[in-house]
């Protein structure tokens, strides 16, 4: 059995967003110098999966197909309504995370209830030398792995985590997060653009977390990102949408899938995202920290489906005045 020896330098315990303030800058710098050496290739999960077709990026064919999809009649869309990312098709438009669950069993049950097909993992949280590591609790015969760079505050850290993820898992998909502020966890837009360009040049399929600025989103698309992932509100805040206007313009202008990422709190938030035309949503904290994560996961599944159907069906025009539901013709 082939075994690869990987040498990496990474923050050893990158805390999930919300816990990042637990360390001072000096402490984080010390941790960043920690060198871990571990073996991959012998991991039973890795041997069983991570040999799927990762796609070839976002080309003209993907954009043309997306443009054609938007021009279909509602009944056609409902019969063939697939989420397409980098040439790969998905039935579910809900992506889920793996952080903040009270235990792995609840996480597995929530994933199942969500109907999701894409699961994102913060690579800084994975302990590869732990016999009970996180990967053993994710069924990759059902889910597509989306590693992420959560906890990275510099381009260098994000690149290091992304390269580690590809080396360790064999997938070139990466959810790029370059954070700019420890209080709000807002993205560093300049760092995100810089990191995205480097990773795309290295052959990664990049799904970047960004703000709701349409200009930034378009630049990310033009760089070759497979999606754009604007926030609804602060990561983990549960506020839902603070303002729809920016994301609406992003949806209108971008041809790559628009995935609303961060801040959703309840299924109705997901439904709103889908109703305005978003292609998908990513939800973690709202499910993992709910009193009943499994029921909340199912709720988000239904919210996404309802919102998508509402978008496909086409809402009625808003009117200034009332309009009677029943006409008076034939009544005396």
The larger pLDDT score, comparing residue 232 to residue 5, is at 232
Distance CA 190, CA 193 (A): 5
How much is the pLDDT for 194? 97
- Burial (CB < 10 A; 0-12, 13-18, 19+), residue 253, is middle
Here the tokens at position 201 are 């040049």
Question: What value does the mean pLDDT take over residues 140-146?
Answer: 92
Closest CA to 271 of 244, 310, 245, 239: 310
How much is the pLDDT for 11? 40
Where does the pLDDT of residue 25 fall: very low under 50, low under 70, confident under 90, or very high at 90 and above?
low
Distance CA 172, CA 53 (A): 10
Question: What value does the mean pLDDT take over residues 144-153?
Answer: 94
Closest CA to 147 of 137, 131, 135: 135
Q: What is the pTM of this model?
A: 0.75
Distance CA 270, CA 283 (A): 9
232 has pLDDT over 70? yes
Return all residues near 72 (Cβ < 8 A) that are at least 6 apart: none
Catalytic-residue membership of 65: no
266 has pLDDT over 80? yes
Where does the pLDDT of residue 330 fall: very low under 50, low under 70, confident under 90, or very high at 90 and above?
low
How much is the pLDDT for 68? 55
Percent over 90 (pLDDT), the chain? 57
The larger pLDDT score, comparing residue 204 to residue 46, is at 204
Least trusted range by pLDDT, from 145-154, 199-208, 236-245, 297-306 = 236-245
Q: Which residue has the tokens 């990561």?
A: 235
255 has pLDDT over 90? yes
Here the tokens at position 55 are 């796609």
33 has pLDDT over 50? no
269 has pLDDT over 80? yes
245 has pLDDT over 60? yes
Closest CA to 94 of 110, 69, 122, 117: 117
CB 99 within 8 A of CB 284: yes
Q: Which residue has the tokens 């063939």?
A: 80
Q: Catalytic pick from 65, 72, 100, 175?
A: 175
Here the tokens at position 285 are 């904290």
Mean residue pLDDT across the chain: 81
The larger pLDDT score, comparing residue 13 to residue 246, is at 246
How much is the pLDDT for 136? 82
The domains found in the chain, sorted by start residue, are 4-313 (3.20.20.70)
């Amino acid at each position: 059995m082939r075994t690869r020896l990987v040498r990496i330098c990474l923050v050893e315990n990158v805390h999930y967003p919300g816990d990042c303030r637990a360390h001072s800058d000096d402490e984080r710098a010390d941790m960043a110098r920690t060198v871990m050496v571990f073996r991959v290739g012998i991991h039973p999960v890795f041997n069983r999966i991570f040999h799927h077709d990762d796609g070839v990026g976002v080309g003209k064919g993907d954009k043309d197909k997306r443009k054609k999809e938007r021009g279909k009649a509602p009944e056609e869309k409902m019969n063939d309504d697939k989420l397409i990312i980098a040439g790969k098709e998905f039935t579910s438009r809900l992506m889920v995370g793996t952080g903040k669950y009270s235990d792995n069993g609840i996480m597995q049950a929530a994933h199942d209830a969500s109907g999701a097909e894409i699961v994102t993992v913060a690579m800084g949280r994975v302990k590869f030398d732990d016999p009970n590591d996180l990967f053993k609790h994710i069924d990759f015969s059902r889910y597509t792995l989306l590693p992420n760079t959560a906890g990275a505050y510099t381009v260098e850290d994000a690149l290091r985590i992304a390269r580690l993820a590809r080396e360790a898992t064999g997938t070139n998909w990466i959810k790029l997060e370059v954070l700019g502020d420890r209080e709000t966890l807002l993205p560093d837009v300049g760092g995100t653009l810089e990191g995205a360009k480097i990773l795309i040049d290295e052959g990664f399929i990049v799904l970047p977390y960004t703000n709701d600025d349409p200009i930034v989103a378009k630049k990310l698309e033009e760089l070759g990102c497979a999606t754009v992932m604007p926030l609804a509100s602060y990561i983990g805040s549960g506020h839902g949408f603070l303002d729809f206007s920016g994301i609406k313009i992003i949806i209108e202008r971008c041809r790559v899938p628009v995935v609303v990422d961060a801040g959703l709190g309840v299924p109705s938030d997901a439904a709103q995202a889908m109703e305005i035309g978003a292609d998908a949503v990513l939800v973690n904290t709202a499910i993992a920290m709910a009193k009943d994560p499994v029921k909340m996961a199912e709720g988000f599944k239904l919210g996404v489906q309802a919102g998508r159907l509402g978008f496909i069906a086409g809402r009625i025009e808003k009117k200034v005045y009332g309009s009677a539901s029943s006409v008076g013709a034939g009544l005396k």
